[in-house]
Amino acid sequence: MKKLSKRCLSLWGKKKVENGQPLWLPLVAHLTDTQKVINFLYNQWLSQGQQEFLTQNLTDEEIHKLIKFLGFTHDIGKATPAFQTKESYDRAQTLDNDIIENLIRNGFSKLDQLELSSRNMSPHNRAGEALLLEFQVPDTVAALIGGHHGKPETGSPSDDLTINTSNYYQSDQDETLKQPWKQVQRELFDYALVSSGYSDVSEIPTITQPEAVILEGLLITADWLASSEYTRNGRELFPLISLEQSWADLDMERRFTKAMHNWLLNGTWQPQKINKMTDPYQERWGFNARPVQKVATKAIGETIDPEMIIVEAPMGLGKTELALVAAEQLAYLCKEDGVFIGLPTQATSNAMFNRVDQWIEKLAEKQKENFPIKLMHSKAQFNKVYKQLPDAENVDTAGAVTINSWFSGKKSILTKFTVGTIDNLLSMALKQRHLFLKHLGFSGKVVIIDEVHAYDTYMSQYLLKAITWLGAYHVPLVILSATLPQEKRQELIKAYLGGKYGKKYKRNFKGPADWEKTQAYPLLSILDNGQLKQFSDFPGQSDQKQQKLQVTRLNLADEELIDHVLDKINGGGVAGIIVNTVKRAQALAKVLEQKGTKYFVLHSAFLAAERSKQEERLQQAIGKNAVRPKKLVVIGTQVLEQSLDIDFDVLYTDIAPMDLLLQRAGRLHRHNIKRPKLLATPQLFVMGINCLGDYGKASQSIYQQYLLLKTDYFLKNQITLPNDISDLVQKVYDAETDAEINGIQTYKADFDNYNDTKKNSAGDFQIGRPMKKSIHAWLDRKQGNVDKDEQKANAAVRDIQETIEVVLIKHTSQGDFLLDGRKLDAVPDYEIAEQVIRLPAALTTYPKETEQIINELENRTKPYHDNWNNSVWLNGTLVLPLDDKLSAKVGKWNIQYSKKLGLSYTKGDDHE
């Protein structure tokens, strides 16, 4: 291969001063590092399924050439005077001058005299794309260079060479000054072609948008890795060199090999085929496969090209275990090497994480490899099990589940095994900087979506778009629900088919004649090679317990309601009260407090650490195999309806849409245990029904009146679970049943308008469907900023108002304390960070009021800032100091915290 000129080797790619020593890295070294890394990532780190996706339109040789080419040319835009004359990040003038002098010595004359007024118009990623277009590289490939900092150009930047010529060539007119830049740019480009295996630029292929998205994600990952100097524990990756050293002093192969050895700290999961002769459930969890599980395992094992599995089955049937066995099967069949499990809330994610961690540990032990896991939500650092997992850098033995700290922040989804809130998957459809990394991470996994019924119209638009892209990447998908409307089932299937096959799927699709309207339950739907198979015959399922629930409508004032509850458990028992708002939960708890009965409250308005402990205590008290208290009342909000494996002897619930109401009912007599004599028959009391169509402002502000009305209308006085689940859910969500209800048209019109509005607003920040064009403008949006943090992105995909997060402390004349009494300056930073809570959304309804509250909180934080600004846990944290009575005034709001009730608020001088 032709040697690069000294002029070309004098170009810098990175520079800084560290511990007083000037450091740099020749541009060609960084380009070579990145070329080697991206090639390694493709061959050793991507799943075989991802490799096969990228080679569906290209040969293996073609994709290898293209990947190497991208790796080497990604920063070719740095070979311009606009970049080479940039100040170092830390404004080290001596270092900058030394580098400029070196460039001048190597033929870039008068560079120290250059002044560029439009330097910022040609950042090196845009310049790189413009140069590749000048060299006749196809625009679908060149666009990846323009987008490798996370956001593609809106359109082709080829005219930037003409408009801002001096940014590229030092001068608009002087050929003497221009020529050296043209020479090194051509030299690097030719070197890129040869080192990648091309003999001519015409051999570079055109690629589709989905292929480009994955390749962009791979390029960004390779660039970030090749730009990482050390691991968190100081292991060497790609360090800079002293200014006295040059390209000739670098052993590039040894440098690369050492870096990869220090970075690749985990093994690769190699899924095995499930043995037909044994019971995987008995092997993994010690129980025999239940009828639905048995049929699902057999049916998945017989698929040709499995795409989507939808499991509709009752609560407590073992859907989680079914999904994990299915993940093993699908990973083997589709050649994937990771799993993502998405759940509605942080609480359900935490509960699922503990189970998945144990499952992965068995996989790791069996393969004698260490596997990485990531808990993906904003309070993951407070999860006890997650905190105790070892860092991959500190594990010498094989067969462990570990945390790899390199995969943090936007790189988190690249961890092979991930559990987290559904926001992570929904944001796959959100126009957000570095979205390519999300797509890369998801494209190599089996994706499991739990509690799919829990997502409203707005969130469902993001979910469907995400599923469309999963289909484009041929990602196997498992969807779980106890209560799935048939219309949503249709949408999920069509979204996946549309992503994988485009509109032509309609011509080739085959399914059972009644697949769109079937109300069979339990129901297993398997999409296999574009064909839908459905299973509703599960031998032995009829032997499963049928539970008859007595349903009573109840409309009592708070005091009378609590008396009713206490009367029900007079002879002992555990009563659950699930209400639709935190305020109502707190109001009922205050009434109960006066009665002297043991009670428990769970909702979102507790300190993060305290809520985790509350969930744990609740599971220990009334979970599976718990030693149950003689008498207990549990009051909670919607957090009690999702995934917590708890059991009530009697249940009271506010009215909610039928699918969610049945989810709540699934917590009633859930386990096979001995009950108090008076509660031997499960009883469900439904509250908040004033009359048909009137369900109170609070419930109607959360749920659509149309759905509440239909739920009220079709709710029978006796329900048989699980037999009645599908029938009741379909009646509520099927528009054809509207004819049975007089006067429903107005409610339906409001419901349709609401849905249309939500669908339209959900489209504001959404990416488009997979296309065959370039990624130009793929992430363009007119407004909003969801790049800064997780909260902004989550608010965007959930259509929720952003709120303010604070650390609560107690400030008294004796000093500062945590709410549990420990002195603040004696507590580690990470424990202080656990005292975090979100202020109620009511406080931040109006922008001016929000700004005032933030200013107030910033002023109150100032006394703590000096101690916290260098803390990784506390930097940027806002503090809300409470007085001796755990209260404070913020703006016009009175804030009160109670260890039993959580955070409450009143306006002005009004107190509850």
Q: What are phi and psi for residue 466, nearest 5 degrees?
A: -60, -40
Q: For residue 911, what pLDDT is reported? A: 46
CA dist list (Å): 465 to 21, 340, 427, 458, 468: 50, 17, 10, 11, 5
Tell me: the pLDDT tens digits for 412-439?
999 999 999 999 999 999 999 999 999 9
Residues 795 and 789: their CA atoms lie apart, in Å, by 10
Contact 163, 34 (CB under 8 A): no
CA 603 to chain centre: 22
Amino acid 912: pLDDT: 42
> Looking at 716, 733, 750, which one is the last position of a domain?
733
Return the exposure string of 858-887: e unless at least 16 CB atoms fall within 10 Å of the residue's CB, then b: eebbeebeeebeeeeebeebbbbbbeeeee
Residue 867 lies in a domain: yes
pLDDT tens digits for range 206-231: 999 999 999 999 999 999 999 999 98
Q: Are 788 and 781 in contact (CB under 8 A)?
A: no
Q: Are residues 172 and 32 both part of a single domain?
A: yes
Same domain, 833 and 701: no
By CB atoms closer than 10 A (0-12, 13-18, 19+), residue 162 is exposed
Asked if the peptide bond before residue 157 counts as cis, ω within 30 degrees of 0, the response is no
pLDDT at 636: 93
Read off φ and ψ for residue 806, nearest 5 degrees.
-135, 160
N- to C-terminal Cα distance for the chain?
80
Whether 680 and 806 share a structural domain: no
Domain-embedded: residue 368? yes
User: What is the extent of the structural domain holding 155?
Assistant: 6-263
Q: From the DSSP assignment, how many helices (H) and strands (E) are in the chain?
A: 34, 26
Nearest alpha-carbon partner for 532 in 490, 474, 478: 490
Residues 487 and 490: their CA atoms lie apart, in Å, by 5
Predicted local confidence at residue 795, as pLDDT: 63
In a domain, 278, yes or no: no
Same structural domain, 720 and 835: no
**pLDDT per residue over 439-484, tens digit each?**
999 999 999 999 887 788 888 999 999 999 999 999 999 999 988 8
- Decide: pTM greater than 0.85: yes
Strands (E), 46-184: none
* Same domain? 235 vs 361: no
Strand partners, 296: none
Please identify every stretch of the chain with a pLDDT value under 70, giving residue numbers as ranges: 1, 542-544, 642-643, 782-795, 799-802, 909-912
- CATH for 652: 3.40.50.300
Q: Which helix (H) or strand (E) holds 376?
A: strand 371-376
Q: Which of 733, 753, 781 is the last residue of a domain?
A: 733
Check residue 317 and give its pLDDT.
Answer: 83
Please, are residues 69 and 196 in contact by the beta-carbon 8 Å criterion?
yes
Q: Residue 38 phi/psi, 5° resolution?
A: -65, -35
- CA torsion sign for 667, 673, 676, 682 is positive
Which residues does 672 contact at the CB level (< 8 Å), separation at least 6? 545
Count other Cβ atoms within 10 Å, centred on residue 585: 25
Residues 352 and 251 in one domain: no
**866 inside domain:** yes
Is there a domain that residue 587 lies in? yes
Which of 231, 263, 295 delimits the end of a domain? 263
436 assigned to some structural domain: no
The Cα diameter of the chain in Å comes to 98
* Same structural domain, 638 and 556: yes
Q: Are residues 116 and 259 in the same domain?
A: yes
pLDDT, residue 854, reads: 86
Residue 786 lies in a domain: no
Residues 694, 806, single domain; the answer is no
Residue among 900, 315, 802 nearest 603 (CA): 900
Question: Does residue 148 lie within any of the structural domains?
Answer: yes
Q: Which among 598, 589, 596 has a CA at the least distance from the CA of 618?
A: 598
Measured CA to CA, the distance from residue 628 to residue 819 in angstroms comes to 29
Same-domain pairing of 717 and 821: no
Measured distance CA(724)–CA(717) in Å, rounded: 12
Number of domains in the chain: 4
**Domain match, 716 and 808 both:** no
**Average pLDDT for the chain:** 91
Residue 234 sits in a domain whose CATH number is 1.10.3210.30
